[in-house]
Chain A
């Protein structure tokens, strides 16, 4: 089962997103701050991170950089109201149309990581 870390200071969304991802067959862990997210990232194994751009403190872009420092190229999906430039994320999703895009993009990112069957051998 693939694991996803969902980081959002909107706790209601964070938990709803985890519930939806759980229904889709993922293990989803919520975190509501950068510190909480980094602690979870270091203690558990994840396949992908979904984070809000706007987070209290250093923000989502800094969280993405910190994660990529620890795991270069790690898949990160960032959400926000306005598109943002951030070199440390895989892709950006507007929050206005988060679902079902998030589900589709997570599936695509994870499939790309696994690669075609021949490449896996």
Chain B
């Protein structure tokens, strides 16, 4: 073919995603509220991995998640695990706060020969542990280092090696290959500054009226500055992407509430199986939960806690006293004292038609 035979057939779209990626992106967007940058970063790295273009001898990707407490940093990893492997716990979590002392690194890689515990300490990061969630179709491991700012120097050295060469030498001198790992690191760095920003910007806890794009920019700047101050350039250079999670606004928390209530129904169905019962919350109850569960300092975590304490525990206490049976439909309302009430919807059959009524 000569050059003269080549014809321009139009520009190509470098950002176009394959079907598998589109599906992942759609599912993640349905599960994760507001954190678009995090979803974009994850989807991009997964796309590179799927087409086999991930750099050799390096992890599939190294992502640093910064942001306020309760903004969903760990949840993104859980949602990805649930989407890819059908299990939100299908990832390895290293809680760096548990490795603040130099000697505690043995819990991660096992004790070296000549040290107490050699051959007895079971290393957390073995090849077997890393591969446990992999399938024939998906040779990928999600590895999360939580609260990395709390890691000891020994863990830092280990982490730098992993991020750069995707290898790890255990206490027994065996080598672990981490080139199939997508590595996530989370940090609450700048949390105090973010908290004071939230308090200063909001005036009163619970009001989000001034949480806007400007506020998000300030949070982003604060988090990045804190990260650059704390972390060495050699660490920052090993990262594929730094994502700053945004503070959740009222409309985001409303979506989180809907997702959480749906999840509770799923949890009940999964837990009790054929003895399933259903529950529903009216708009006033949802407003009540949002009011009680809104705390700018703790984000969605506080809302989830309020739902667990008031809805799940309430339902469980009714089950414990045999007031809820299989097939029941429970309606949650607001009582005269301002607290939540639980009523059972009973189906009664009248002479002419089926009528629903509630019985407290």
Contact residues, A46-67 vs B (CB, 8 A): none
Q: B225-268 CB contact bits vs A (8 Å, 1 = yes)? A: 00000000000000000000000000000000000000000011
Contact yes or no, B313 A15, CB < 8 A: no
How many chain B residues touch the partner (CB < 8 A)? 22
Q: A10-B322, A23-B308 are in contact. Are A98 and B317 (CB under 8 A)?
A: yes
B321 CB–A CB distance under 8 Å: yes
A99 CB–B CB distance under 8 Å: yes
- Give the interface centre of B273, B308, B316 by most chain A CB atoms within 10 Å: B316
Contact yes or no, A97 B271, CB < 8 A: no
Contact yes or no, B271 A16, CB < 8 A: yes
Task: Report the separation of the CA atoms of residues A25 and B325 in the bound assembly, to the nearest whole angstrom.
Answer: 27
A18 to chain B, nearest CB (A): 7
- Give the interface centre of A13, A16, A20 by most chain B CB atoms within 10 Å: A16
Q: Which residue of A lies closest to B270 (CB)?
A: A19
Contact residues, A32-76 vs B (CB, 8 A): none
Contact yes or no, A17 B316, CB < 8 A: yes
Contact residues, B137-193 vs A (CB, 8 A): none
Q: Which A residues are CB-close (under 8 A) to B272?
A: 11-12, 15-16
B54 CB–A CB distance under 8 Å: no
Q: A18-B271, A100-B309 are in contact. Are A12 and B319 (CB under 8 A)?
A: yes
A98 to chain B, nearest CB (A): 5
Contact yes or no, B271 A10, CB < 8 A: no
- Give the interface centre of A11, A12, A18, A79 by most chain B CB atoms within 10 Å: A12
- Give the interface centre of B270, B308, B319 by most chain A CB atoms within 10 Å: B319
Q: Which residue of A lies closest to B315 (CB)?
A: A16
Q: Which A residues are CB-close (under 8 A) to B345?
A: none
A-B contacts at CB below 8 angstroms, number: 54
Contact yes or no, B319 A10, CB < 8 A: yes
Contact yes or no, A100 B313, CB < 8 A: yes
Contact yes or no, A20 B316, CB < 8 A: yes
Contact residues, A70-92 vs B (CB, 8 A): 79, 81
B268 to chain A, nearest CB (A): 7
Contact yes or no, B321 A16, CB < 8 A: no
B326 CB–A CB distance under 8 Å: yes
Q: A16-B272, A17-B316, A20-B312 are in contact. Are A95 and B324 (CB under 8 A)?
A: no
Task: Report the separation of the CA atoms of residues A81 and B321 in the bound assembly, to the nearest whole angstrom.
Answer: 8
Contact yes or no, B320 A95, CB < 8 A: yes
Q: A1-16 CB contact bits vs B (8 Å, 1 = yes)? A: 0000000001111011
Q: Which B residues are CB-close (under 8 A) to A100?
A: 309, 313
B196 CB–A CB distance under 8 Å: no
Task: Report the separation of the CA atoms of residues A99 and B326 in the bound assembly, to the nearest whole angstrom.
Answer: 20
A13 to chain B, nearest CB (A): 5
B284 CB–A CB distance under 8 Å: no
Q: A11-B275, A12-B275, A15-B272 are in contact. Are A99 and B321 (CB under 8 A)?
A: no
A97 to chain B, nearest CB (A): 7
Contact yes or no, A99 B316, CB < 8 A: yes
Q: Which B residues are CB-close (under 8 A) to A16?
A: 268, 271-272, 315-316, 319
Q: Which A residues are CB-close (under 8 A) to B313?
A: 20, 99-100
Contact yes or no, B267 A97, CB < 8 A: no
- Provide a sorted-by-A list of 7 A–B residue pairs whose CB atoms are within 8 angstroms: A10-B322, A13-B319, A13-B320, A16-B268, A18-B271, A19-B267, A99-B316
4 tightest A-B CB contacts, nearest first: A99-B313, A19-B271, A15-B271, A95-B320
Chain A residues in contact with chain B, CB under 8 A?
Answer: 10-13, 15-20, 23, 79, 81, 95-100
* 13 other A-B residue contacts (CB within 8 Å) besides A12-B324, A98-B320: A10-B322, A12-B325, A13-B316, A13-B319, A16-B315, A17-B316, A19-B267, A20-B313, A20-B316, A23-B308, A81-B321, A97-B317, A99-B312
